[in-house]
Structure 1
């Protein structure tokens, strides 16, 4: 079962664990992708989170 990213009413940001679950990869892979710049993360209330738009980009092949 996969989480659906909704345009209306869905969260604008996902935790790194949620992003890994949505992408189907381990949390360590998400951390590595953020560290090398393949996945953009932003700070919200001192936590690193992944914007929903960035997840959409990654799910659509990763082209910028």
Structure 2
């Protein structure tokens, strides 16, 4: 049996702590990047989250 969607099991959003772990930086750096606008985040169910696509953008070369 094969999956039709390759990313079916992964979350689409990460908390700032999870984003910091993925990026290999301190949580304070992620919060600072969100505050100054380098890293985009949004509110989902009253929680601040970073989209997986945004992390991919940062990991692939940073801000555009």
Settle same-fold status: TM greater than 0.5: yes
Is the contact made by 2:41 and 2:50 (CA closer than 8 Å) also made in structure 1?
A: yes
Which consecutive residues of structure 1, in runs of 5 or more, have no partner in the other structure?
A: 1-5
1:28 corresponds in structure 2 to 28
| Alpha-carbon distance change, 63 to 31 in structure 1, aligned in 2, over 3 angstroms | closer
Q: Shift in Å at residue 9 of structure 1?
A: 1.9
TM-score when normalising by structure 2: 0.85
Q: Which has the larger radius of gyration?
A: 2
Q: Shift in Å at residue 63 of structure 1?
A: 4.0
TM-score when normalising by structure 1: 0.85
Count of aligned pairs: 59
| 3-state secondary structure, aligned to 1:49 | strand
Q: Shift in Å at residue 61 of structure 1?
A: 1.0
Which consecutive residues of structure 2, in runs of 5 or more, have no partner in the other structure?
A: 1-5
